[in-house]
Amino acid sequence: MAMQLRLIKAFSASLFLLCMANNVCGQDTKLTKLWEVSLSGIDKVATNNRGEIFVTNNQGYLFQYNASGSSVNQLATSLSAPVTNLDAYNTVNIFLFSAALQRFEFLDRFLNPISSLSINEAIASGWVSQACPGNNNSLWVYDESDLNLNKYNLTTNELVQAQALNTLIQQNDLKVVLLKERNNLLFLQIAEDGLYIFDNLANFIEKIPLDTHNRSVIEGDYVYVIQEGQLIKINYLTKESKSIAIPKESNFEKLGLSSQQILLANEKVLAVYKRPKDL
């Protein structure tokens, strides 16, 4: 029975990739560059719905720009190490998590510290490789010590939801590159595998195959990801998809989106382009 289920899942994934290949149409849309900035060691990029742009480097520094490219703020965060997750989606605050330090913090939109806690201070857990904020003052974590996807109430420090990923994903070493809660859904991306979607009770819904280590962006009903020199847009409800070519000479791997702009970055350059209306 288990073998039969694995075969069904493998067939479904192959069928999805085939459908996506048939639906994705690389458009000839030429992106218009608005501005760019050079930074050493660019690690993560993010935006909020105000169009503000946030960038971390591999030393844990956080840089803030406005939509025109002017530097607004810079902060040496308490996370003096690479930031594993940067989430600026909530315009009220900004979330940062460092797996190396096992620590997370919240900042307000002006980069003033709100709170900074170690994982052990906040929750009873093992070694957390990914974390993200959830609704109602909660925290989602992927705990590598027991291979569980857990949700904690940060007010009471209680475990409120759990999902054993090793029963769902047949891999020994999971590299979780993205963990985000959006639209009462939880998105977990595993490098070179795909994006797993759960409901807010940690019940598995479906998988979107993604053969890349690049972090995706979730916006509305869509998943955006850079893959093989293309920016791919996938509707995770209908599975319809489309793509546009991005400049290949810069080897962009990092992606951010606002309502008006596309952010593309490598380790040295953040380039901002006008977002086409149909993307």
**Which CATH number fits the domain that encloses residue 49?**
2.120.10.30
pLDDT confidence bin for 5, thresholds 50/70/90: very low
Count up the domains in the chain and report the number: 1
pLDDT above 50 (res 9): no
**pLDDT computed for residue 236 by the predictor:** 96
**pLDDT computed for residue 92 by the predictor:** 85
Q: Is residue 125 a part of any domain in this protein?
A: yes
Spell out a b/e string for 54-78, using b for 16 or more CB atoms within 10 Å of the CB, else e: bbbbeebbbbbbebeeeeebebebb
CA distances to 106, 134, 149, 152 from 158, in Å: 19, 14, 14, 5
What is the tens place of the pLDDT at every residue in 80-113? 889 999 999 987 899 999 999 999 999 998 999 9
Q: For residue 81, which phi and psi values (nearest 5 degrees)? A: -160, 165
Q: Is residue 93 a part of any domain in this protein?
A: yes
Whole-number Å distance between alpha carbons of 274 and 111: 26
Whole-number Å distance between alpha carbons of 5 and 1: 6
State whether residue 84 is helix, strand or coil. coil
List, in sequence order, every residue forming a beta bridge with 139; answer none if it has no partner.
Answer: 133, 152
Residue-number span of the structural domain to which 174 is assigned: 2-274
User: What whole-number percentage of the chain has pLDDT above 90?
Assistant: 75
Q: Is residue 72 a part of any domain in this protein?
A: yes
pLDDT confidence bin for 167, thresholds 50/70/90: confident
Top-confidence residue, 203 or 123: 203
What's the mean pLDDT in 169-173? 79
Whole-number Å distance between alpha carbons of 98 and 265: 20
Q: Is residue 279 a part of any domain in this protein?
A: no
Cβ–Cβ under 8 Å, residues 264 and 255: yes
pLDDT above 90 (res 4): no
How many residues does the structure list for the chain? Answer: 279
Q: Is residue 16 a part of any domain in this protein?
A: yes
Q: Is residue 31 a part of any domain in this protein?
A: yes
pLDDT above 70 (res 26): no
- pTM for the model: 0.88
Whole-number Å distance between alpha carbons of 276 and 121: 45
User: What whole-number percentage of the chain has pLDDT above 70?
Assistant: 90
Instruction: Choose the most confident range, by mean pLDDT, from 159-168, 218-227, 244-253.
Output: 218-227
- How many Cα atoms sit within 13 Å of 254 on the Cβ side? 22
Whole-number Å distance between alpha carbons of 273 and 32: 5
Whole-number Å distance between alpha carbons of 40 and 113: 24
CA distances to 12, 34, 177 from 17, in Å: 9, 33, 21
For 275, which DSSP code? P
Q: For residue 90, which phi and psi values (nearest 5 degrees)? A: -80, 115
User: Tokens 């002017």 label which residue?
Assistant: 70
What is the tens place of the pLDDT at every residue in 194-247? 999 999 999 999 999 999 999 999 999 999 999 999 999 999 999 999 999 999
